């Protein structure tokens, strides 16, 4: 099956807990696809979608290069919750049911589960480009310093 997000390219994908696929792109849209490939829902993030992450409660998080995160409710019953990372976000992950946003500013922010309140901020030391959730529930973050590559585990 081939799904066409278009126009442009797909910058991020996430699989929701119910098996649906979410795609995001530079056209500012997020598309939610049914398991049989039908477009079910169209969301407008408002800026180029840099990263998507699916939370276990059915919410979808979308982030842009301006540092804005939107937590979309599982249905269209409310507006998204807006979070501000404070710098460009390259990627996100879900760690122990908490959203983690990773920034080009070298920070990793772990957000409260409900999105209300201040995040716990961890310092990577250089721009954070990738992340993996470890089997023990920790995070491994990868980045690139000015002269070398680094990897930090939290």
The pair of three-digit structure tokens given for residue 30, joined into one six-digit string:
């997020």
Could you give the maximum distance between any two Cα atoms of the chain, in Å? 48
pLDDT tens by residue, 79-137: 999 999 988 898 999 988 899 999 888 889 999 987 788 999 988 878 888 888 888 88
Residues 6 or more apart from 37 whose CB is under 8 A from it?
Answer: 1, 3
Least trusted range by pLDDT, from 74-78, 89-93, 146-150: 146-150
Per the CB < 8 A criterion, the answer to whether 128 and 112 are in contact is: no
pLDDT tens by residue, 17-65: 999 999 998 999 999 999 999 999 999 999 999 999 999 999 999 999 8
Q: Where are the domains of the chain?
A: 50-153
For the sheet with 12-15, list strands across it.
12-15, 21-24, 29-33, 39-44
pLDDT above 60 for 13: yes
- How deeply is 5 buried, as exposed, middle or buried, from its count of CB atoms within 10 A (0-12, 13-18, 19+)? buried
Least trusted range by pLDDT, from 3-7, 65-69, 71-75: 3-7
Eight-class DSSP state of 59: -
Q: What share of the chain is helix, strand, coil (3-state, %, to 5)?
A: 0, 50, 50
The pair of three-digit structure tokens given for residue 56, joined into one six-digit string:
């276990």
């Amino acid at each position: 099956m081939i799904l066409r997000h278009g126009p442009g390219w797909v910058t991020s994908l996430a699989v929701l807990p119910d098996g649906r696929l979410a795609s995001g792109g530079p056209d500012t849209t997020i598309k939610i696809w049914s398991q049989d490939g039908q477009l079910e829902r169209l969301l407008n993030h408002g800026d180029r979608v840099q990263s998507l992450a699916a939370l276990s409660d059915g919410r979808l998080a979308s982030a842009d290069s301006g540092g804005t995160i939107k937590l979309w409710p599982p249905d269209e019953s409310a507006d998204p919750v807006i979070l501000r990372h404070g710098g460009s976000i390259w990627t996100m992950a879900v760690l122990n049911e908490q959203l983690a946003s990773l920034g080009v500013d070298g920070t990793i922010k772990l957000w409260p589960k409900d999105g209300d309140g201040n995040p716990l901020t961890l310092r990577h030391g250089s721009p954070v480009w990738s992340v993996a959730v470890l089997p023990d529930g920790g995070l491994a973050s990868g980045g690139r310093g000015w002269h070398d590559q680094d990897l930090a585990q939290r």
